[in-house]
Structure 1
Amino acid sequence: MGHTVFRTVSPRLLAPAAGIALATGLLAAPAATAATDGRATDPAVVPSPGFFGTGVRTDACDGTTAPGWIATAAPALTARTTADRARFKVWDETGSKVFDGEGDAVDGTATARPTGLTEGRTYTWQAKGTGGGAPTAECRFRIDTTAPALTVDSADFPASDSGRTPQKYAGQTGTFTVAGSDAASGVACYRYVLNGTPSVGNDCTGAVRPAADGTATLTLKPTDWGTNILTVQAFDEAGNASRPVSHTFYAPWNPAPPPSAPGDVDGDGVPDVLVPGSDGSLQIVSAAADSTASATALPATLAPDRTDWSAYRLAHRGWDPGSHGPVDDLLAHRPGGAALYLYPNVDQGAFRHGATLVDRPESADPAFTADWSHTEQLVALGSLDDHQQSSLLTVEDGDLWLLTDPGFDYGYQTVKRLSTNGAWAGYDVVAPGKAADGSLALWSRERATGTLRTYPIAKQADGTYDFSALADPSAGTAVGTFPAAEYPLLGSSGDGDGDGRPDLYAVTAARHLLTFDGTAAPKDLGALR
């Protein structure tokens, strides 16, 4: 490559001399010289070269691996050596030597700090112990010390100071175009957040990768009407971060919002499936979606414990009309926990405003405990009267309970026991909600057999519902089979396909989300996180 490398003398040339010396007793056995022959090994650059996009780190010492990037022109070069010192040489991509210096060895590691290195160059280097032993392999790295530049724009939600008129309303999805450039290593990814602070990380995990031209399209739905701020930050392959760029825009109030639909949390008039992700996030997928690609992920930090949504049972179907528009509030309960959490949905499914505690109602039945710690299952039936708050069904110590007459903040007034002797202990309860004709039913899955059953909940002449069919779960009408091993999670968010009948959804053992037409004709939406 046009430069001089360190060379060693073949041991075969020394063999006759060594033999003479040993024959005359002038030299000791050569085994003792192995630890002091001045060899150099383990070459490394500090900071370690790599690629921010993938998180891969490499010193590229094999001649074929692409050299990684560092974000400084003043790295440290290190090598292990059995000598007291090591000599370091650095060449640029033209083969010209740009550094030749020595470094003392401390605890077996010699270090040198080359000078004169510049932006955008590829460098090759090698170290050799001053004792005359073998040098290190030739290693390579590249330098990029300049952060990328970027711009953000949107025709749907233009910047407030642009003089342009928004084309979408709060609660509607808009696109935002991010354009970045980086002269040396190139843009690796973008991190962004709407009305918050961008996350950090040691690579591009969870970030958006650009197209070949450096652009990326973000599809976002501002849930708050009024002023919103989209903050974007670009990272290059060396790990340099741009300054955060804020795109401040106005999202007008929608004068004609979609019609309400029980089960809808994001305000588009279609029920949603809420499933905790394996990464602790909460995924929101439209029940009418064709894939999970459009899923919105709420961060784990919004969970009641601020770490993991998967630790909680979730329920939603109904809202408090006194505090916000027609989108579902969210209930969350941790198995064994004494508290039930309510997330008022004042921001169309973002749930950024935190949770309040739901009071435990009182009951004359001594089997009804004073807190929520015995709650094994929690499902939202939806409204049973002219209000919009949801009544609840819980399974506690194997029995089914009905909580009705919810007031402000879901303070339930009436408690009714629907079964005895732990009859529901082996069943998963699914509440499909009302059909278009106002009829109400309940579904269950017997875990031992996978049998799915349905139970009619008839509306009586006085407007109340008859729940007597739920006393014996084995007496329901079988409508299908869903083995628990194949479908660990069954649920329903109501009528997802708009045909007037409630629909089932399931999550498979491989974490694929399936939606059904009623309880038949499964559609695989793909893998969840």
Structure 2
Amino acid sequence: MDLTPDQNVLGKGTGPWYLDPSVSISRDSATQHWVQVQENHPDTKNYDVNSPVGTGYCAYSDCTGYGRYRAYFDIGINSDIYNQPGGAPSPPTVYDSKLIANVSDASSPSTNTPFGLYWTGAINTNTTWNAQPCGTNGTMAGCQKIGNSASLTGTGPISFDVTSQIQQAASQHWGDWTVGIAPDDENNALYRHHLSISPGSAPHITTNYDIQPSAWGPTTSPKPGFASTGKYFDCNSGGTNPWDNVGWIGANQTVKLAVNTWSPAYLSLHTSFNVFWNSTAGNGSYNQDSGWGGSVNTDTNAQNTTLALSQLQDGQVYGWHAGAYDGDANNPGLGSPWTQLCYFGIDRTPPTVSISSPEFPPSGTPNPTPQKFAGQQARFTLHGTDPVPTGAAASGVACYRVSTNPSPVTGWHCTDGATNGVYLNNTATNSADFNTTPGNWGTNILYAQAQDNAGNYSQPAAYAFYAPWNPASKPVLGDVTGDGKPDIVVPDNAGNLKIVSTTIDPTNSVSANASLAPGSQGWAGAQISHRGSLLPAKSVDDLIAHVPSDPTNLYELVNNGSGAYTVKTPISAPPTDSCTDGTGNPLPTDCPAELTDWSQTSQIVAIGRPEGDYYTPANGSTPSSVSRTSLIAVINKHLWLFHGAPESNKIPGFYFDGTAVELSSADWTNYDLINPGPANGITPGTTAKQPTLWARNRTDGTIHAYRITGGNTPNYSDFANPATNGITLPGITLPVSTYPTVGASADLAGGPTTANAPADLWTVNTSNQLTIWTGTSADGTDSTPVTGFVTTGSPNTVTLPTPKGLWQLNDKANSTTAADSLGQDLAQSGTALGTHPGTASNVTFSPDNPSGATLPIDPNTKAPITPPNVAVFNGSTSKIETTGPIVDPTKSFTVSAWAKPSAYNGVVLGQDAGNTQSFMLWPDSNGNVWHFAMATADPTNGWPYDVTSDVNTNANVQLNTWTQLSASYNATTGQMSLYVNGNLAGIGQHKPFSSTAGSFTIGRWQNNGNKNASPFSGSISDVSVYNAPSTPGNLTASMAGGTVLHPGDSAYSSRTMLTMQADGNLVLYTLGGLPLWSTNTNGHPGAYATMQADGNLVVYQPDPKFTTPGAAANSLWSSGTPNNPGATAKVQGDCNFVIYDTNNKPLWASNTYHP
């Protein structure tokens, strides 16, 4: 591509091109010498005589003889009119010159006298009438008259135009110039005059001239360049044809052009910028001006102009150059030479990205013969495109970034390198390969972004793939997720059980919902422990739970294989076939009464196998597993051990070997039991690593260790007395008042690659922050005993996320309150409205169906049942407000709602600051898109908001249509994310601003103190607030033909979850953990479900047990809906699971509708 400036704009011929000059500076060229010659005294020398110089005919009485007088002047030429200043592009340009003389007396003051100016030869000290430059046979005979005569009556100044002569003097660098002045009639006595030679009035030449300005150093801002190399250029990329390799500028950026300018004549300057383009999409040019500046304009004060977004076309390549001027159309002056040509391209279209892997195909793809397994490195390929506008160009994909974090990220660079997950694009294939190791057994998700050379970021692309369990992998005790790493499970403030790991974000890691707890009272206050399972052949931990709401029972929570617990099994009593002391001798009184149930149990922990843990290798399709765990409990102050059943005993309900061992009859109530696993190294004389029990002294916060030794004949002597036995581990003290919860697990912080690191301890403080305290040992591994702890906890503390409010907005028709389901217990008085009820003003509540699901038929009326109420806002005076804040806008949070707007601009959700709102969510009429905004200040006027301005088509508003909205803020990264119907629709960046905390609002905005601004018109339902950023799910609630649910996979709706369990059962649960429906196919570990292309939903026996996975003979259950190609299975928010044909007609349903 050859870009050249428009010659019609700049003029014809060879540049530079100038305007007619009139702006100038002046310099005087003064008289250096003078002489008067007299015809009546032909040999008299009057060189530089200090008296007026006479010219004309002397014929009066004061004359000493009659005769002609002539005046000669030697004028020094000022070198400023021709010297070229350093750095100036050219010498001065002379515009005009005048010689000015002053007549000091006249022989006839009333006579008008014409004077002539003559170019003469030189004068000197010997100049006389007889030896003068001009002849005497006529008026100044032999000397050239310059221009016209100048007439004067009396005395005063006379002037002569000497422009052409001084231009010649400037071009030839004259040092001086001699002229003569005489009246046109030298013989007329009335024309005799004297010319002054006094300083300031002696003859002199005034010259107006200018010096061409200089323009240099053109710069484009932002600098165009190439993100792939990180190289950016002020003007162009260099080379022979720089227009063929232009740098690029990205979207939503104005472009500033600037040049340094200087006037050697010290005149004010302005700069004209000529912008031009030429491509198949069109060509043209325009000029823009910087406006007037000073005579020196450099660096930050360089003269510039800004090209607006509307002046720049996506995909176009532009050239530009500039010239500085000291004049304008009204006052012409000189212009500088034009600067070098600069080039840049505009690319406003973000790239796209996708991921593929031949070794881990996408989720939903049958993979009967896996090439790779969980824990094995595999190759993945990133594919990118950079869309090209019609007839234009694109910058091209530069690089990719891969992460396991779904939040879009800005500010990363192509030069960050593979260690930061960044890979350069192969321009030949528009792809990049990378290797990664999926740590999780089950569904994994990678997220990728592409960046083009203009710096535009793509929307993140998710790649979900299933990593099969590696039959050769060894399970790890303490692991609940199947990733081979120990995990922590603790209750959050809402009563849910959460998984916390060094490799898992706890935000969405609900392990067991609060409603699964006995009495649906949540897990807060429960004793929760895990290290292995009481069941045989398990590869991940189950949970052992003892809850205050049901103290007589102990519960085993069964892991679905990936860390979700949806089934609880009660264990009604400890084993009491026999009761012994720690040495194996029977107790004198046999088993005490407190062992008839678990009601006297104050603490309980799972410790693993006392003799040392072992694992069973995989066998065919059966994964490897760990030995059964045993329990230690404090019952009626004493310490008891309940040994797990033999691995060979697979009879349901047999969890223990039948013997209760009283380890200590001392009082253990002042000690918090902790299960670190084998924290005492290898037992001498064996290869076993036997469990250790840690305990915190609740009085002084010290940590004590009690060992099990003896190998296959365990020695429990350390447990006899907690106060006198065991050892104290130095390094930390953990007061109960500061750290109410304490626990341990093997190597949470990450240890050496050649051996497991020592066990670590964790705490949860009163602010619900979790901290890891690293264990130490002599050799840094768990082969030697833990000797203490690093005195400073892990700096990467984790705050466990907590729901802050849930308003279903299904209140009664004319209710003036909106109940908060959080903290709501209809069975207890005073809690019916929940923790944060809202005051509803002019809001009505009427039936509607946000999820759009088909309503079941009422058997009595034979008509669809009535859906629950939603809140209806009138667009004028309707609003719902809490009495105080719900969201802390300086920290991470997520707000969600279903909304059906009937008009634009009404605010759905927000929270008041002092004069504005700290955040808001609304359908914007500007672009017809959904936006999420957060306040940057709290002024009394203006628009102080950061907005999710980087939006895609998912953000489009559909009036009168129910839309699911989630707005999320990550305070760590500053990322604002907006999700519409589960899809990422917009992103933005925000720096936290501490605003005044006011009411949480539904249906209105506060603007400049007006709390009734932008009222919402339409309906709203299911509003929730969470104190953590959200991430998109790995599977949508809609399953098209070809979708596969592997063990551990789940599909979510707003209220339900369809899970393919590890035991082979496909189960529909409420999000609270209540089972609604199942295929009753448990007992088939590894079975999977697929929504087939023919419309049939089938659960198949596990592969690769059968040579033809998916064959009809291998079916365990089906929906019986074949011959319906294009059918879709949907997990609905109304708790129903339905298969629809292509006309949206139900073919099959779980019949669990329960709005």
Matches within 5 A, 1:297-446: 297-301=510-514, 303-305=516-518, 306=520, 308-319=522-533, 322-324=536-538, 326-335=539-548, 337-352=551-566, 354-360=567-573, 361-362=575-576, 363=579, 364-385=590-611, 388-407=627-646, 408=650, 410-420=655-665, 423-435=667-679, 437=682, 438-446=689-697
Alignment correspondent of 1:520? 789
Alignment correspondent of 1:490? 742
Alignment correspondent of 1:509? 766
Matching residue within 696, 718, 732 for 1:469: 718
Greater relative contact order: 1 or 2 (C-alpha under 8 angstroms, separation 6 or more)?
1
- Relative to the length of structure 2, the TM-score reads 0.25
Q: Tell me which structure has the larger Cα radius of gyration.
A: 2
Distance 1:470 1:508, change over 3 A: same
Distance 1:426 1:452, change over 3 A: same
Once residues 471 and 497 of structure 2 are traced to their aligned partners in structure 1, the CA distance between those partners, rounded to angstroms, is 29
- Relative to the length of structure 1, the TM-score reads 0.51
Kindly indicate whether residue 479 of structure 2 is the aligned counterpart of residue 479 of structure 1.
no
Once residues 172 and 488 of structure 1 are traced to their aligned partners in structure 2, the CA distance between those partners, rounded to angstroms, is 40
Q: Deviations over 1:467-496 (max 9, x none)?
A: 122121111322242111111111112232
Identity of aligned residues (%): 32
Letter of the aligned partner of 1:489 in structure 2? T
Aligned residues: 314
Letter of the aligned partner of 1:430 in structure 2? I
Q: Deviations over 1:58-80 (max 9, x none)?
A: xxxxxxxxxxxxxxxxxxxxxxx
Contact (CA 8 Å) 2:531, 2:608: kept in 1 or not?
yes
Contact (CA 8 Å) 1:456, 1:469: kept in 2 or not?
yes
- 1:169: how far off? 5.6
Once residues 357 and 474 of structure 1 are traced to their aligned partners in structure 2, the CA distance between those partners, rounded to angstroms, is 34
Matches within 5 A, 1:93-242: 155=356, 158=362, 160=364
Letter of the aligned partner of 1:263 in structure 2? G
Contact (CA 8 Å) 1:301, 1:308: kept in 2 or not?
yes
Letter of the aligned partner of 2:655 in structure 1? Y
Matches within 5 A, 1:23-42: none
Letter of the aligned partner of 2:716 in structure 1? F
Distance 1:412 1:302, change over 3 A: farther
Once residues 517 and 379 of structure 1 are traced to their aligned partners in structure 2, the CA distance between those partners, rounded to angstroms, is 21
Matching residue within 472, 487, 490 for 1:275: 490
Once residues 546 and 376 of structure 2 are traced to their aligned partners in structure 1, the CA distance between those partners, rounded to angstroms, is 30
Distance 1:410 1:167, change over 3 A: same
Letter of the aligned partner of 1:467 in structure 2? Y
Distance 1:169 1:154, change over 3 A: farther
Alignment correspondent of 1:9? none
Once residues 333 and 171 of structure 1 are traced to their aligned partners in structure 2, the CA distance between those partners, rounded to angstroms, is 34
Letter of the aligned partner of 2:692 in structure 1? A
How large is the RMSD of aligned CA atoms in angstroms? 4.0
Q: What SS does the aligned partner of 2:562 have?
A: coil
Distance 1:308 1:161, change over 3 A: same
Contact (CA 8 Å) 1:276, 1:283: kept in 2 or not?
yes
Letter of the aligned partner of 2:483 in structure 1? D
Contact (CA 8 Å) 1:264, 1:271: kept in 2 or not?
yes
Matching residue within 480, 497, 509 for 1:265: 480
Distance 1:211 1:262, change over 3 A: closer
Moved more, 360-369 or 479-488: 360-369
Once residues 417 and 268 of structure 1 are traced to their aligned partners in structure 2, the CA distance between those partners, rounded to angstroms, is 36
Once residues 510 and 676 of structure 2 are traced to their aligned partners in structure 1, the CA distance between those partners, rounded to angstroms, is 24
- 1:432: how far off? 1.2
Distance 1:275 1:153, change over 3 A: farther
Q: Deviations over 1:329-369 (max 9, x none)?
A: 211111361111112324221223x1222252114322442
Contact (CA 8 Å) 2:692, 2:705: kept in 1 or not?
yes
Matches within 5 A, 1:15-94: none
Unmatched segments (≥5 aa) in structure 1? 1-151, 176-207, 213-219, 230-246
Contact (CA 8 Å) 2:601, 2:634: kept in 1 or not?
yes
Letter of the aligned partner of 2:662 in structure 1? R
Matching residue within 251, 257, 273 for 2:466: 251
Distance 1:406 1:321, change over 3 A: closer
Q: What SS does the aligned partner of 2:559 have?
A: coil
Letter of the aligned partner of 1:413 in structure 2? G
Contact (CA 8 Å) 2:439, 2:484: kept in 1 or not?
no
Distance 1:253 1:371, change over 3 A: same
